[in-house]
Every structure is written in structure tokens, then in C-alpha cells.
Structure 1
């Protein structure tokens, strides 16, 4: 057993830089799992600064000084935050309040619709089964109502913390953008001067992750805005809430669009019934999803992530379970990072020589 472990160690941990990279990855994972909630504003600031860095670089390329480019970029960020606070959040709050007010009526309509099923399809469903389904639904809705009341009463400190974050995060983002080179230089001082492996992985992933994240943000905005316009044109209730759900659904590949379809279809069904408006709504929603998958995604993500669908779904489940929303958002970039590390990881000299000769496809993918 010890011989097997020693052989495995000599093969995969013979390089000092590889061991250091493994320690850094493990330390980062432990910090996020243990101090993730405490460092949430810092992590969010780093992510936002990473997203905005492309705009700073573009403005500097056009001849602007660094401080002026940072000022313009920071002004755009503040304008976006004010638009969300003053424009989007009030609408969401109003529609959420109206939704929970009309929820009992929607529940009664659903019960009436369910009671018709045993009459039309007696061989498929019985009255007893319908009554059990309605009882379970009523119980679950009562739990939801109790949770909402308890949240509004007991979680006021969380709302105060969110308001503090709205002040703290922009300040951190400003300094990250302004002193990015100094911060990276300071952090690099703790790393060895010769870091070929880390440099290779960073160069391979930096542009890919940046393009993916920025593209995903643009996709969320475009899909959500388009869905809102479609829902408003149809006169669909809760258009803002449903549009946000549709926009955020693009974060989860393959299943996000299907999950977002359920509330859209239910609200349309309760509002119009089995009428032509309901059919036209589903057709328009289907066209929107088709344009997103076949036109928008290829334009935004010209360099497709070469991951198997099973690997993508597994990454969403794992990272989403570890880090919630941000884990789902960064699931594909993190999975791509893991893949890049596996391809770039140094192995023993003899093992590496045989591996590179026997798997040229792996080398081509690692250089891509």
C-alpha cells in the first residue's frame, strides 16, 4: 500500500509548484467554506471588479488615463446600482405583494380545475387522489406563508446588512480597480518567482473565464429584458418577476429554461385559461428561448466550453451546493478551471513522456 502511495506521489506531486498549487486550492476551498458568509462582500467585490476590468482596459486602450478610466467605469457601476435600487426593486416588491395577495384566489381556481379531472379522466385519477394533492398543496402553502411572516419579522438585521453591502461593495470595487496592479503584485510576492504551472493555467483561464462571465451577464440582461417586453405586450401578470426568473434561468444550462417555463405557463393559465392568449404566450416564449440558444449564445460565446453535458450538470450540482447562487453562476468556469488544471498538471518525467506521446488530443485541448 505504501509503495502504491509513494508511486502515485512521485508521479503527480514530484513538482514543488504543483504541491504549492494544491495547497493554495485547498486553502481557498477551506476559507470559502468556513468564512464564505463573512467574506461575501469581499468576494462579490472581487467578482464585480473582475467583470468591470474589461471596460477599464478598453478605455485605457482608447487613450484615457488609468484614474479617469476607473472613474468612468465606477460611475457606470453606480448608475446600474441606482437603477436597480430605484427602478427594479420597487416594481419587484409591488408585484410580489400583489402575487401573495392573489395567491388564495389562484389556489381556489386550481382546486376547481383539479376537481374536473376525475370527471373527465376517471380511469387516470380519482377524487381521493385529487383531495390528497389539494391537502398537500394547502399545507405547503401555509408553511410558505409562515416563512414569509417569520422572515419579515425576525430577519430585519439581514436587510440592514444588505444595505451596508450596498455601501461597502462599491468602495471595495473602486479600490480593486484603481490599485489592481499593486494588489496583484503584492499577492504575487508570496508566490515563488518561478511559477510556470500557475502562469500557464492563469493565461489559459483568464480570458476564457472573463469572456464567459461577461457574456453570461449580457445574456441575462438581454434575455430578461426581452422576456419582460414580451410579457408586457401580452399583458401577463407579474411580468417583472417572471422576466427576472427567465433571465436568471440561463445560469443553469439545459434545465434552467425548462424550470422557468413552469411559472410562466401557470400564471398564463390562471390568467387566461386554455384560451388563444395562453397558446400565443407559450409560442412567443418558445421563440425567445430558441433565439437565445441558437443565436445569442453562439454570438456571445464564440469559444464554446468543451465540456460534456454530464460534466456541466455535475458542476452545477456540486458548486451550487457548496456556494449557492455564486456556485451556480461560476459552475462552468470552475469546471473548465478544473479541466485546465488536470491537463496542465505535471507528472513524472517518464510518465509524462509516455502520456504526451500517447494522448496528442489531450495536448491539443490543453493548448487551446
Structure 2
């Protein structure tokens, strides 16, 4: 291993160690980087239409702010009401399970779970009563740790400021980084950066739009057929759609249970199936070809592992970075695989395999 490779590995290890130390304060900067990355193509398009960079950034920043603010104003009250309804329905659901489901399970399997379930129900109900004081407990905790609360508010306030300045200087930062690269490695690094950009665009732009669209489709469809918690179920199914087929499996199972408990007939169960069938057809025929094209994403197992590993190592910041980092790693692994296939080491291994076959 050459001296340059040794120093490169040491520098990478130092960067990872530094990121781990600074993880508690990095969240607003990473969120701002994601927002700036999402908004940069529209900014470049407006700039190509004749607007100055500052004016184009101001327009995009206003559009992002209005979109996020409108979504919060619409979703938060809806989700709050549906969560309140869910909390009120929990005791009824538990009583229904105890009186209907458990006797059926006992008649089919011969196993009696009523005692264990009764203990679980009593434990849940005892803790459920304490949730009424959650707001008071939260306020008391905030008053005792006012500094931490102020830091949290300051981090949130930093996001729009950092996003604005990153959008303003995004292209300039890319040019500076490209100019700093050693001329020997600049073409290769530039090519890899473009491949990373394609994969990141597929995830951060295309996949997020697919998830949002599916969540809206499921929420509207379930609400139209009268399913309780339709918005909440649609949101969960849309978020779970980051892993192929997981969203439809989770959403369909939850919605079917709610429909059966709410109506108890086959008509609404068929309606739930129709909603998710329409969502899957639109995803396969319209959303993915339009928003993702033929770009190859990460394997579902890689997505799950990346999210869990990022959360375990760096908390919420790691979850935000998990998929972008995994996408970049996938591009680098493809590059290393290509280098290996074109290397003399692979040729020697291939020749040995051919000699053994003969």
C-alpha cells in the first residue's frame, strides 16, 4: 500500500470520527444539504431562464417554504385528530379482540391465550391512562432543561438560513471542489460524482416523490370509502414504500383490519383491496417510469440495513444520511468491481479457472 493510500485511509477515518463526535449538532446542516440538493435543479432552470442566481434562489426558497408550511398546516391537524381517534378506539379494539378473536383462536387451535391477553390488556390500559398527562410531563421536562430546548429550537431555525446560503453557493461549491481535485484523478472523480448524482436523484427526488404520491393516493382512496384513520394509514404506507412492496403490504394489512373492525363486511374489504391495487398500478405504470425512469436503485435489503445502521451509529442524523451514503457506496462498489474485472488479478484468476476446467 502506497503512502498516499495510507494517508487517504487515515484521513477518511479521521473524518468519520469527527462526524461521530459532531453528530448532535450536524442535523440542521444535513437537512439543509438535502433541501438544497432537491432545490438546485429548479434554481438552475430559473437561472437559465434569465433570473439572477439570488432571485432564482429566493423564488425556490419561497416555493419550498410554502410547500412545507402548507403540508404542515394540512397534515398536522388531520393526523392529530386521527391519532386522538385511535387513542379512543384502543380500549374498544382490545375488548373486541378479547371477546371475538381469542375465542375463535381457541376453537381453531385449542390454545387459550385469554389469561395472557388479559394481563397485557390491563398493563396497556394502566399505562394508557398515564398518557393523558403526557403534555404536562413534557412541559415540566422542558422547563427543567430549558437550555436543551433552546438548542433544539435554534437547530430548527438554522435549517432555512443554511438552506438559503447553500442554494446560493451550490454551483460555486461544486466548482471549487472540482478545482481542488488532483488533475490525475479529476476525470475519474467527476465521472463517479455524476453517477452518484444520478442515484441520489433517483432516491432523494424520484423515490421521495413516489412515496409522497402513493401516500396521497392511499389516503384519499381510504378516506373516500369511509375507512377510519385513512390519512394516517396512507402516510404510513407511503413512507414504507421506500422498500419495494413493503408499503402495500403494511398499508393493506392495517387498512383491512380497520375496515373489518369498523364495518365487518366484504364490500369495504374489497374497497381497500381496490385502493391499493390502483395505487400499485399507478406506481408501476406512471410514477416509477415518470419519476425514476430506468435508474437502478438500492436493493431492498440494502435499504433496510442502511437505515438501521445509520440510526444505530448516528441516531436521527444517521437515518437522514443512510440512503445517500448507501447510494454513494453502491456507486463506488460498482467502480471497484469494474476495476477488478479489468485488472490483471482477475485475468489470472480467470485463466486459472479455465485451466482447471480443461
Compute the TM-score of the two structures, normalised by the length of structure 2.
Answer: 0.80
Q: How does 1:203-242 map to 2 (within 5 A)?
A: 203-242=194-233
In structure 1, which of residues 171, 174, 178 is the aligned counterpart of residue 164 of structure 2? Answer: 174
Structure 1 residues 203 and 284, CA gap change in structure 2 (3 angstroms): closer
Distance between the aligned counterparts of 2:285 and 2:125, measured in 1? 38
Structure 1 residues 237 and 185, CA gap change in structure 2 (3 angstroms): same
Residue 254 of structure 2 corresponds to: 263
Q: Secondary structure at the residue paired with 1:135?
A: helix
Please, which runs of 5 or more residues in structure 1 have no aligned partner?
1-9, 360-368
Distance between the aligned counterparts of 1:316 and 1:102, measured in 2? 32
Q: Does 1:63 align with 2:50?
A: yes
Q: How does 1:282-301 map to 2 (within 5 A)?
A: 282-293=273-284, 295-301=286-292
Task: State the Cα deviation string for residues 176-218 of structure 1 (Å, max 9, x = none).
Answer: 1112244446666876565435434222212321233101221
Q: CA deviation at 1:56?
A: 0.6
Q: How does 1:46-195 map to 2 (within 5 A)?
A: 46-118=33-105, 122-126=107-111, 128-140=112-124, 142-143=126-127, 146=130, 149-150=133-134, 153-154=137-138, 156=142, 163-184=153-174, 192=182, 194-195=184-185
Aligned length: 342
Please, which runs of 5 or more residues in structure 2 have no aligned partner?
351-358
Q: CA deviation at 1:100?
A: 1.0
In structure 2, which of residues 330, 341, 347 is the aligned counterpart of residue 339 of structure 1? Answer: 330
Distance between the aligned counterparts of 1:269 and 1:333, measured in 2? 39
Q: RMSD in angstroms over aligned alpha carbons?
A: 3.5
Worse-superposed segment, 154-163 or 329-338: 154-163
Q: Secondary structure at the residue paired with 1:303?
A: coil
Contact kept in structure 2, 1:224 and 1:244, CA below 8 Å: yes
Distance between the aligned counterparts of 2:88 and 2:182, measured in 1? 61
Worse-superposed segment, 330-339 or 206-215: 330-339
Structure 1 residues 338 and 21, CA gap change in structure 2 (3 angstroms): farther
Structure 1 residues 278 and 348, CA gap change in structure 2 (3 angstroms): closer
Task: State the Cα deviation string for residues 152-173 of structure 1 (Å, max 9, x = none).
Answer: 6235467766654443211110
Contact kept in structure 2, 1:319 and 1:327, CA below 8 Å: yes
Q: CA deviation at 1:116?
A: 3.4
Compute the TM-score of the two structures, normalised by the length of structure 1.
Answer: 0.78
Contact kept in structure 1, 2:218 and 2:275, CA below 8 Å: no
Contact kept in structure 2, 1:305 and 1:336, CA below 8 Å: no
Structure 1 residues 277 and 160, CA gap change in structure 2 (3 angstroms): farther
Q: Say which structure, 1 or 2, has more relative contact order (CA 8 Å, 6+ apart).
A: 1
Worse-superposed segment, 269-278 or 303-312: 303-312
Task: State the Cα deviation string for residues 97-129 of structure 1 (Å, max 9, x = none).
Answer: 2221222122222222224315xx624143x22
Q: CA deviation at 1:291?
A: 3.0
Contact kept in structure 2, 1:346 and 1:352, CA below 8 Å: no
